[in-house]
Chain A
Amino acid sequence: MTKQHSQPEADEKVGVYVCHCGSNIAKTIAVQDVAEWAAGQPHVTVARDYKFMCSSLGQELVEQDIKDQGLTRVVVAACSPHMHEKTFQGACERSGLNRFMFEMANIRELDSWTTNDREAATQKAKSMVSGAVERVVHHKPLEMLPVHINPKTLIVGGGIAGITAALDIANAGHHVYLVEREPSIGGHMAQVDKTFPTLDCSACILTPRMVQVGQHPNITLLSYSEVEQVDGYVGSFTVRVRKKARYINEELCTGCGDCVEKCPSRVVDQVFEAGLGYRKSVYKPFPQAVPKYPVIDPDSCTFFQRGKCKACELVCPTGAIDFAQKDELLTLEVGSIILSTGYDLFDARRIPQYGYGRLANVFTSLEFERMVNAAGPTEGQIVLRDGVTQPKKVGIIHCVGSRDKNHNEYCSRVCCMYSLKFAHLVRERIPDAEIYNFYIDIRASGKRYEEFYHRVLEEGTHFVRGRVAEVTDAARMPGEEGSLIIQVEDTLIGKQRRIPVDMVLLSAGVEARSDSQEFAQKFGLGCDFSGFFIERHPKLDPVLTMSDGIFVSGACQGPMAIPETVAQAGSAASQVISLISQGTLMMEPIRARINPDQCSGCRICNNLCPYNAITFLDDQKISQVITAMCQGCGACVSACPSAAITGAHFTADQVMSQIEGLLWDMRETIPLEAV
């Protein structure tokens, strides 16, 4: 490629500021040396080093120089632009310089933090400063783009996270669409009997909130619905939602439940009852379901399967049964989106040596939650799979699928506490039971969690430290016959133990939803290796995502218990409310533009754009960028074979000059013509 860059104005005056960042940079880079060297570079009028450029005094230094020395461009060599680009752009603006006449060289994350070699680090810092200077002289003043924020919000997932966020936003006076995949909102919390460590009844604290959601004038509840497609950008998303056919006319249904009672078809409820109980083919997951309308499950309904029955239609007093109902496609216009899609329980069948599904009296934690729930299949009786026998010995195995390299390496954070809760509930209902907890470590770091652990210890529950090798019904020694034997190395006494019990509870871990990857793709989000949605910053921006206007809350972001989930949901709601209050958002004008004279109409860029921001103008046979939807990623710019696309603030001039600047110390060895 020959060098054809436009020459910058000869009288550009660049100020260079090298930050010490305390000792973060200065420890590894000779900052004074870099500043002195920079002062002698082309275009540079003034170069300084300073202890903390981001401090008020550091910013004032820049502002003063712009005024006194007439600087036209500014370079700050400091940390990542993610941290302080906006800080220094503000300083430029305050002194009357366009905010885009600024460039940041990241000599901390990309240099001083990566090495202990002072000489090499200093050399690299000079290169990065040189690149920034060469680039900044090509910068053009740009204006921010105002974006109007639609005050309506979409929340996906109606568990405790979605419910909390929906109520917070609705109470602030803004409209919310709450989309839930299942027939009722409530999520996993509705399945649980008691919550740790306070042991208050889960339904008692949850259902009032569910009722509020159902009745709130600012909330449109779309249950039994799923998001199919999302287009647009912060402030203006278009969302397509499929409202699955309930086969019940919601206008007419009173929720009386006659149809449920008369339905002759009964199947195992794999969702709400976790496979431990039954439901009818026309069903409400649980009595307090919101909304109150039942759903007909066509896969098991006698009419849908065999063409006759219609018992429900016969008994319905309002004629609300509608076998001909079809899925409905809705289009929603919203400004912000909160994802609160929750988690899946680790499938205990994946650890076959624990016998789940094979040995009748091995139960998962969710099955046990339903069992101890007074509204569950056994009405709260703790019994073996035969439905009548009370267990005398119960073994609770922790970390099933968690802290395990074969499955999930992370800690699921909730299992220790709910296992302790199980031990307590067994003790409460079967006072003379022998209860064993098999644990790796007890993780009880939460408000009043450790106290609860001690309470369970004092109740006489046994704690065996070690990962269980297997659960078997193969009796080896007298006294083992008819029991489930838990084989474990007790690591505190250093011995193998075989402990016969009647009932085994598997404390299965928390996993990302099995479809979280494709779901994330719909919203333009990323997932980590485990499938949880990636937040913008794990500490400072835990509910923001890399997509503006899309927030996450609850266990879809990582394993967490109810208190953290509710806190996150509140945080996401306040982010949304803050966005709505701003009314208009100023967006960086870093967008692509297609030069119509150069576009050949090849359409390569059309499918490449991850944001569907490029349309093809059929009449003119050229492509065009929809500025509002463009995110400035640059994919089209680099792909265009006729170089017809320019990315504002990332023009060929700017990028090529920066590269040349970076290679300043090679200039003498490589003739420019060869570049």
Chain B
Amino acid sequence: MKYSYYPGCSLERQAGAYHQSALAVAAPLGIELVELEDWNCCGAIEYIAVELLPAYALISRNLALAAQQNGKGGNQLVAPCSACYLNLSKADKYMDDSPELAAKVNTALAAGGLNYTPGSIRTRHLLDVIVNDIGFDKVKEHVSSALTGLRVAPYYGCVAVRPGFHDHFDDHEYPTSMDKLMQVMGAQVVDFPLKAHCCGGHMTQISQSVALELIRRLLKNAHDYAADVIVTICPMCQLNLDAYQESVNRHFGTDYQIPILYFTQLMGLAFGLAPEELGIGKEFIDARPALAKVGQVGEAAAGRTKRDKKALPMPRMAGEV
């Protein structure tokens, strides 16, 4: 399947591992990602916080380009970064709701010889594409070295699943699509109650103590559940949890050493690709000790304890017999 691909600024810089691994797993899955020509920054959160109209014009330029280059990638624009995904779909939705805004934005776009009809491009998150367009069954066919024994905490962050302007691809409060995807990879997925809580975002630059507390909660929760690795779908989340982990340790006197990887990196490993092809090694908290656990069945299998006779049965969940 063919999609327009909008990597966004972070994937060109600090999240290069995401870019590299996304392309590496897309190919075998038959996802053809055609990079948008001449794309520009989505404005992250700074532009929207300052003035809305220039922000929407900046974002919409990418949508207009995608529409113009339609033939190359279909009418779907894939963004691996949650912030880009949010901004692109938000601008589209707001313009769709307000013809007035759409007219103003189009006046701005006209200066560059561009035009955009709201609703004509469907913005998708990469996770949504892999889970819903390709599907677990198809993905499973490519798993050659399952991540058996690796305990992963799936971390979605607060942006990708809410508010969900176009596609409600997962539950807003308690998403599970990546949980299932990681299970398909053979990993042991731990319950991660903070999976859709905030990583602090840009608070690291504005009020570091607030950000560090938010990051601490996530690390503590993953640690409490004995996760070997936290797996993310967003460059911002990866950066905060990875780059500020030592700061958290200094600030709170803790000693967390939890590597933070992109879901595409773990998928690549399960597909049998070499770590170097997936940008593994670029992270601050070294992932190698954790990844060395792959294949060690012992602990995970031993997790099965016999139920106490007196205990009441647990509720039956969907898919259980």
Contacts and interface: CB of A to CB of B under 8 A. Distances in A.
Interface of A: 268, 270, 275-278, 349, 351-353, 355-358, 360, 364, 367, 377-378, 383, 385-388, 470, 472-476
Interface in B169-219: 171, 173-174, 176, 191, 193-194, 217
A475 B312 contact: no
B112 interface: no
A277 B318 CA distance: 19
Given A386-B310, A472-B193, A474-B193, A352 B316 contact: no
B209 to A, nearest CB: 15
A472 B196 CA distance: 12
Contact of A356 (B191, B217, B221, B315): B315
B77 to A, nearest CB: 27
A508 to B, nearest CB: 12
Interface majority SS (helix, strand, loop, mixed), chain B: loop
B46 interface: no
A41 to B, nearest CB: 48
Contact of A358 (B191, B220, B310, B318): B191
Those 9 A-B pairs whose CB atoms lie nearest each other, nearest first = A352-B174, A387-B310, A353-B173, A474-B193, A357-B315, A472-B193, A474-B221, A387-B311, A357-B317
B197 to A, nearest CB: 9
A378 B313 CA distance: 12
Contacts of B224: 474-475
Contact of A357 (B308, B310, B314): B314
Contact of A275 (B217, B310, B311, B313): B313
Given A275-B315, A352-B174, 15 more contacts: A276-B312, A276-B313, A277-B312, A277-B313, A349-B315, A351-B173, A352-B171, A353-B173, A353-B174, A357-B316, A357-B317, A386-B308, A474-B193, A474-B194, A474-B224
B196 to A, nearest CB: 8
Contacts of B193: 355, 470, 472-474
A377 B315 contact: no
A523 B42 CA distance: 56
Interface string B217-233: 10011001000000000
A270 B312 contact: no
Nearest to A383: B312
B173 A352 contact: yes
A480 to B, nearest CB: 11
Contacts of B174: 352-353
A355 B174 CA distance: 9
Contacts of B312: 276-277, 377-378, 383, 385-387
8 contacts: A268-B313, A356-B315, A358-B191, A387-B312, A388-B310, A472-B193, A474-B193, A474-B194
Interface residues of B, number: 21
B171 A275 contact: no
Contacts of B317: 349, 357
Contacts of B176: 352
A390 to B, nearest CB: 13
A385 B311 contact: yes
A367 B173 CA distance: 24
Contacts of B220: 474-476
A159 B314 CA distance: 27
A355 B194 CA distance: 12
A387 B307 CA distance: 11
Interface in B294-321: 308, 310-318
Nearest to A267: B313
Nearest to B313: A268
Contacts of A358: 191
Nearest to B318: A349
A388 B194 CA distance: 29
